[in-house]
Chains A and B, each alone.
Chain A
Amino acid sequence: MKIADQNWNLGPLGRHIWRGRIGAAELSAFARSVKDEGGQLIALWGSDDRHLAPLSLEGRGAGGEGGGFSIHAAFITAAGLAWVSAELSVETPAYPDLAVIFPQACRMQRAAYDLLGIRAEGAVDDRKWLRHGAWSAESFPLRKDFSSEVVRELEACRSQLPPLTSIPGGDAYPFIRVEGDGPHEIPVGPIHAGVIEPGHFRFSIIGDRVLKLEQRLGYTHKGTEKRFEGMDLTTGAKLAGRVSGDSHSAYAWAYCMAVETATGCEVPERALWLRALFLEIERIANHLGDLGYLGNDVALSFGFMQFWRLKEDLLRLTQRLFGHRYLFDRIVPGGVAADLTDGSELLALADRLEPEVQELKAIYDEHATLQDRMANTGIVAPSLAARLGLTGMAGRASAQAWDARVQFPQPPYDRLEVNMSTHRRGDVLARAEVRFAEVYESLRLIRELVRGMPAGDLCAEVRLPETVAEGIGWVEGWRGEIVVAVRIGADGRLDRVHPHDPSWQNWPLLEVGILGNIVPDFPLINKSFNLSYSGQDL
Chain B
Amino acid sequence: MTAGILMQLAQTLLAILLAPLLMGWTNQCRAWFQGRSAPPLTQPYRMIRKLFHKDAVIAHDASPLFRFAPYMVFACMALAAGIVPIVANDLPFSPAADAIALVGVFATARVFLALAAMDIGTSFGTLGARREMLVSFLAEPALLMVFFTTSFIAQSTQLPVIVETLAHKQFAIYPSLAFAAVAFWMVSTAENARIPVDNPTTHLELTMIHEAMILEYSARHLALIEWAVALKLFTYSALGIALFIPWGIAPAGNYGALPLAMLALVGKMAAGGLLLAFLEAISAKLRLFRVPEYLSTAFLLAVLGTLTHFLLEV
Interface residues of A (CB under 8 A from B): 184-188, 192-194, 207-208, 295, 297-302, 304-306, 309, 367, 369-370, 372-373, 377, 518-523
Contact = CB atoms under 8 A, between A and B. Distances in A.
Interface string B2-40: 000000000000000000000000000010011110000
Given A185-B123, A302-B33, 14 more contacts: A188-B206, A192-B203, A208-B289, A299-B201, A300-B285, A301-B34, A302-B35, A304-B34, A305-B35, A305-B36, A373-B285, A518-B288, A523-B204, A523-B207
B160 interface: no
Contact of A298 (B30, B206, B284): B284
B199 interface: yes
Interface of B: 30, 33-36, 123-124, 126-127, 130-131, 195-196, 199, 201-207, 215, 280-290
A370 B30 CA distance: 19
Contact of B283 (A186, A306, A369, A521): A369
Given A186-B123, A186-B127, A193-B203, A302 B282 contact: yes
B37 to A, nearest CB: 11
Nearest to A195: B203
B207 A369 contact: no
Given A185-B123, A186-B127, A306-B35, A299 B284 contact: yes
A373 B34 contact: no
Contacts of B34: 301-302, 304-305
A214 B284 CA distance: 29
B163 to A, nearest CB: 34
A184 B122 CA distance: 12
A291 to B, nearest CB: 14
Contact of A520 (B30, B206, B282, B283): B206
B205 A518 contact: no
* 7 A-B pairs closest in CB distance: A299-B285, A194-B203, A299-B199, A186-B123, A369-B284, A300-B284, A298-B284
Given A208-B288, A373-B287, A193 B36 contact: no
A186 B199 contact: no
A188 B203 CA distance: 13
B38 to A, nearest CB: 12
Nearest to A205: B127
Given A186-B124, A186-B127, A521-B287, A302 B204 contact: no
A381 to B, nearest CB: 21
A370 B284 contact: yes
Given A302-B35, A309-B35, A369-B286, A519 B206 contact: yes
A521 B204 CA distance: 10
A373 B284 contact: yes
A306 to B, nearest CB: 7
Given A186-B124, A299-B202, A369-B286, A520 B35 contact: no
Contacts of B36: 305
Nearest to A524: B207
21 contacts: A186-B123, A187-B123, A192-B205, A194-B203, A295-B284, A297-B204, A298-B285, A299-B196, A299-B199, A299-B283, A299-B284, A300-B283, A300-B285, A302-B281, A305-B34, A369-B196, A369-B286, A373-B284, A377-B287, A520-B207, A523-B207
B122 to A, nearest CB: 9
A295 B35 CA distance: 14
Contacts of A295: 284
Contacts of A194: 203-204
Nearest to B205: A193
Contacts of A185: 123
Nearest to A521: B287
Contacts of A521: 287-288
A518 B284 contact: no
A373 B287 CA distance: 6
Nearest to A196: B203
Contacts of B127: 186, 519
B203 A367 contact: no
Nearest to A371: B284
Pick the most buried of A194, A208, A301: most chain B CB atoms within 10 A of its CB. Answer: A301
Nearest to B199: A299
A372 B290 contact: yes
Contacts of A306: 35
B287 A299 contact: no
A301 B35 CA distance: 9
Contacts of A305: 34-36
Nearest to A186: B123
A373 B206 CA distance: 15
Pick the most buried of B34, B280, B282, B287: most chain A CB atoms within 10 A of its CB. Answer: B287
A292 B126 CA distance: 30
A111 to B, nearest CB: 27
A503 B14 CA distance: 55
B287 A372 contact: yes
A193 B280 CA distance: 23
Contacts of B203: 192-194
Pick the most buried of B35, B130, B196, B205: most chain A CB atoms within 10 A of its CB. Answer: B205
A163 to B, nearest CB: 13
Nearest to B281: A302
A298 B202 CA distance: 9
Contacts of A188: 205-206
Pick the most buried of B195, B196, B285, B286: most chain A CB atoms within 10 A of its CB. Answer: B285
Contact of B206 (A309, A377, A523): A523
